[in-house]
Chain A
Amino acid sequence: MTTADAKAYGAVPQEAVGLDVQDHVDVADYQTIGEPYVENAKMSARNVNVYYGEKQAIMDVSLDIGENEVLSMIGPSGCGKSTFLRSLNRMNDIIPICRVHGDIQLDGEDIYGSGQDTVLLRARVGMVFQKPNPFPKSIYENVAYGPRIHGLAHSKAEMDEIVETSLRRASLWEEVKDVLDQPGTGLSGGQQQRLCIARAIAVSPEVILMDEPCSALDPIATARIEELIDELKERFTIAIVTHSMQQAARVSQRTAYFHLGKLIEVGDTKQIFTMPRHELTENYITGRFG
């Protein structure tokens, strides 16, 4: 189906497209289009199924995140992309009715294995949330909290060093270096989100998960975060969930398109946005629904 054909679809009501979509996806042995696996995988998920009580939110998803790459996950609301992201650092554990089946590995180790500790896992796989959520403590304390509970700094000087480096990497240092003792909640929305990024990188994680980090921010703050993500990929592996297709196109190397709990298509960002192979992907990126 070409783009022109997709445009012709415009006459069809959204609901009809939705129904049509469901027929497409509910094939039990649906095969993801594109190449979900990479050679230098940092994290790899195989046949992951996530349930909220009776409801299945993720259906048989297999996907790799390569070392030092930015993988973006896009898809309409309720498609399961956030759920998938949260299962990567076992954040779903705090939801009592949530069950995760399948195999997710970090550096070849099963993160749902019996020997795996969630505290250690979350120190290695950090997270930035949709809404900026700094602790109601000082800016310094926000950044220092992670290193402190993990015992990463042995002196005040070392801690100062960690705080400064983290804030510099989050390109927030220049703005807050004189007000480190002020509460983090007093910053602007964009600054708060960068503070949360600084907090996440202060414990030197290997992977950073970002759950729509810019959805509560204005375009200028968004641009700064996007620049930041570009710099951070030198050191970290990043998986980002976003609703903005421009953002996915700008910051990521690979893009995965989710729909109703299935991974429909995955591939190089450029390819996904210029030559989508599945009609659902095409409909979504051309703004037909979502």
Chain B
Amino acid sequence: MSKDTFKNTELIQASLKKRYARERRFQFYGMLAVLLGFAFLFILLFDIVSKGTPAFTQKELKIAVHLDPERLGVEATADAEQLQQANYNAVIKASLREMFPEVTSRSEKRRLYRMVSIGAEYHLRDRVVAEPSLIGQTHDLWLLAHSEAAGYLKGQISRDTPEVERKVKDVQMDWLDQLRDDGRTRSVFNTLFFLEGDSREPELAGIRAALQGSFFTLAVTFLLAFPVGVFSAVYLEEFAPRNRITDLIEININNLAAVPSIVFGLLGLAVFINFFELPRSAPLVGGIVLSLMTLPTIIITSRAAIQAVSPSIREAALGVGASKLQTVFHHVLPVAMPGILTGSIIGMAQALGESAPLLMIGMVAFIMDVPGGVTDPSTVLPVQIFLWADSPERGFTEKTSAAIMVLMGFLIVMNALAIYLRRRFEVK
């Protein structure tokens, strides 16, 4: 007996080494997998952030602007309406010519004008309308640089690139260098990016329209999908009889969760736009379509969360004489709420990143105006990213990455809100 015991101990000891080695190996693989995941995540984030950060600053050029009433085509005593229609473009062009008197040829002049953004004339107009006394005077004013000039000033375009391959020519670089040496260039925070809608000019394009469009779309999605989803789950889980019909419904819900999202877009186009004649490109339709897409996710996760509530709580509530409805609303739902919120946030995050179904209902349109409500034409963040990524202008590259950063920020805010709500429910 003792001999056997001794032998067994020896055998176990011999195998122990192997077992521990296997465990260490497994841990190592696990760690490797985590590190690899982190590395990819880091590369992705680094790439986006490094490409996107320059989009948050703008370059401005200080130009001595002579607000000549003759060039503006107005009198010194002009009223606001006349000032609105004055020719500020001519003034800016003349001022540029005055600053660089050596420029004479037509093509060089065109290059000179191209250093200042088209938007500058509107900014100048607003300035003059607000302060009409400027007319007739010469002031050093900061004007928004063209995206190409800004690209050079930000160091994104190098002189080493052959001239034919770049938009900013040598002569423009000379002028910009001269301005920079004179202290006539500056970087400012890009407020336009957060205040304006899309534009053909990269330096004027903003994310606001898409951001607001996404907000309205998701608001509609949430308002429709959350209550409908949670109440469906409550009904199916707590009240519905178990029979063929409920089985069929359950199978259908599960299948619906696996339907490709573009199909929902086709449905939205056929039903909501063509049949019900709801407005095209509107967050209302987008929200309805996305809520159809999100519903199965919310229902499935909510049912799982409700199922996970311990039956002893139900018994306790029924035992003191609570009705079924009271049991569900006072006890089951509060306990299931964290799980329901987790499911909802997964569904909402999916909806936020969705672009395919929205393309089908026309939310891919070029939208310059910030939407004011759920029926205004608008676009959403992922579609805006897609549009900018597709634009040939160099200036849109940084905008694309910046828009991705905004999208991720939106997602973080949304998740943080959900986590906050979940905490509150858990404490209770």
Contact = CB atoms under 8 A, between A and B. Distances in A.
Interface string B329-347: 0110011000000000000
Contacts of B312: 129, 131, 133
Nearest to B428: A137
Q: Which of B314, B315, B331 has the most CB of A within 10 A?
A: B315
Interface in A55-114: 89, 91, 94, 96
Given A129-B312, A145-B330, A135 B317 contact: yes
B319 A129 contact: yes
Residue with the greatest number of chain B CB neighbours at <10 A, chosen from A119, A128, A202, A203: A119
B392 interface: no
B322 A135 contact: no
A126 interface: yes
Given A137-B428, A145-B330, A149-B326, A123 B316 contact: no
A25 to B, nearest CB: 30
Interface in A102-155: 119-123, 126-129, 131, 133-137, 145-146, 149-150
B382 to A, nearest CB: 39
A122 B428 contact: no
B313 interface: yes
A41 interface: no
Contact of B316 (A119, A121, A149, A196): A196
Nearest to B314: A94
A257 to B, nearest CB: 26
A200 interface: yes
A96 B239 CA distance: 11
B318 interface: yes
A135 B428 CA distance: 11
A242 B354 CA distance: 58
Contacts of B318: 91, 94, 122
B320 A146 contact: yes
Interface in A230-263: none
A227 B298 CA distance: 49
B320 A123 contact: yes
Nearest to B316: A133
Contact of A119 (B242, B313, B323, B330): B323
B321 interface: yes
Nearest to A121: B321
A150 B317 CA distance: 12
Nearest to A120: B321
B319 A150 contact: no
Given A96-B242, A135-B331, A137-B428, A149 B322 contact: yes
Instruction: Assign chain B's interface to a size class.
Output: 20 to 34
B335 A123 contact: no
Given A145-B330, A149-B326, A133 B321 contact: no
A43 to B, nearest CB: 16
Interface string B53-82: 000000000000000000000000000000
Nearest to A123: B321
Contacts of A137: 428
Contacts of B314: 94
B198 to A, nearest CB: 49
A127 B321 CA distance: 10
Contacts of B321: 119-123, 146, 149-150, 203
Nearest to A124: B321
Contact of B320 (A122, A131, A136): A122
Contacts of A134: 316
Contact of A136 (B315, B323, B326, B335): B335
A102 to B, nearest CB: 22
Given A119-B321, A122-B320, A129 B315 contact: yes
A200 B320 contact: yes
Interface of A: 89, 91, 94, 96, 119-123, 126-129, 131, 133-137, 145-146, 149-150, 196, 199-200, 202-203
Interface of B: 242, 310, 312-323, 326, 330-331, 334-335, 428
24 contacts: A91-B318, A91-B319, A120-B321, A122-B318, A122-B321, A126-B319, A127-B319, A128-B319, A129-B316, A133-B313, A133-B315, A135-B313, A136-B313, A137-B428, A145-B320, A145-B322, A146-B321, A149-B320, A149-B322, A149-B323, A149-B326, A196-B316, A203-B320, A203-B321
8 interchain residue pairs of minimum CB distance = A123-B321, A146-B320, A133-B312, A127-B319, A122-B321, A133-B316, A119-B321, A119-B323
